[in-house]
Amino acid sequence: MAKQFDKVLVPGGSGYVGSMLVPKLLDQGYDVTVVDIPYFGKGHLPLDHPNLTFIAGDIRDSGTLAEALRGVDAVIQLACISNDASFELDENLSTTINLDAFEPLVVQAKSAGVRRCTTYPTRRT
């Protein structure tokens, strides 16, 4: 199957889903950039892979996001606070990441020339 894109940004790529997805994207020949606050570490990613760029940062920061979006063809948005217990610990943090950050991400991605932007479904209690 031919690739539709060359460079993919995966916000939240060091999380549970990203840790499975990023290596598969790399195996398929994509250049992958992950932007994430690695709350649970990033050692499970193949950080030495020549086609992986890791940016330690917050998608709510427009400067970090602008850097991460440079040259990107597609975005797979995985950044979220993903379980009920974490959401309850800091509802404001969870709301700003899970809900409020998505539209600015899409606007910035469109402005940067990104052709495709998708999100992994997140759950809110």
Q: What is the pLDDT of residues 62-115, one digit of tens each?
A: 999 999 999 999 999 998 877 666 667 777 777 777 777 888 899 999 999 998
Paired with 9 in beta bridges are 33, 75
Give yes or no for a contact between 10 and 34, defined as CB atoms under 8 angstroms apart.
yes
Q: What is the largest CA-CA distance in the chain?
A: 43
List, in sequence order, every beta strand (DSSP E) within 1-125.
7-11, 31-36, 52-56, 74-77, 116-119
Domain 7-119, second-level architecture: 3-Layer(aba) Sandwich (3.40)
The pLDDT assigned to 123 comes to: 43
Hey, how many other C-beta atoms are within 10 angstroms of the C-beta on 17?
15
- Scored b (16 or more CB within 10 A) or e, 63-77 reads ebbeebbeebbbbbb
pLDDT one-digit tens code per residue, 5-32: 899 999 999 988 999 999 999 999 999 9
125 vs 94 pLDDT, higher one: 94
Predicted TM-score (pTM) of this structure:
0.86
